[in-house]
Amino acid sequence: MNNEMSKVLGCNASGCSYNMKDKCHALGITIGGGDCPECDTSMMDKKKAGCKDVSTGVGACKVEACKYNDCLECTAEEIRVKMHGAHAECGTVKFK
């Protein structure tokens, strides 16, 4: 397994506090479990958070059925976060 965090290349969850110009500025995100690969770090609020110089990575992934999941870590080189209904989720997920 690679010891580097998967990079978050883009995010279209414009209502998220960590989103600035379609880029995530959280230090790391967690992708949730269950049937939906929801971004657990997403915070839909007008208050801005994160640092503009941050290059975001995936800290953990709880979607065990994703082919990129190895021991609850993301092994994809990069991911994109997208809106799905009212929440942000991993758009790169590939179910086994």
Query: Rg of the chain over CA atoms, in angstroms?
Result: 12
**Whole domain around residue 79: which residue ranges?**
6-90
48 Ramachandran zone, left/alpha/beta (phi>0; psi -120 to 50)? beta
Pairing of strands 28-31, 57-61: parallel
Give the pTM. Answer: 0.91
Could you tell me if residue 96 is inside a domain?
no
User: How many Cα atoms are found within 13 Å in the side-chain-facing hemisphere of 38?
Assistant: 14
**pLDDT tens track for 63-95:** 999 999 999 999 999 999 999 999 999 999 999
* Number of folded domains that form the chain: 1
Mean pLDDT value across the chain: 94
Whether 14 shows a pLDDT value over 70: the answer reads yes
Supply 69's token pair.
């999941």
Could you tell me if residue 35 is inside a domain?
yes
Provide the residue count of the chain.
Answer: 96
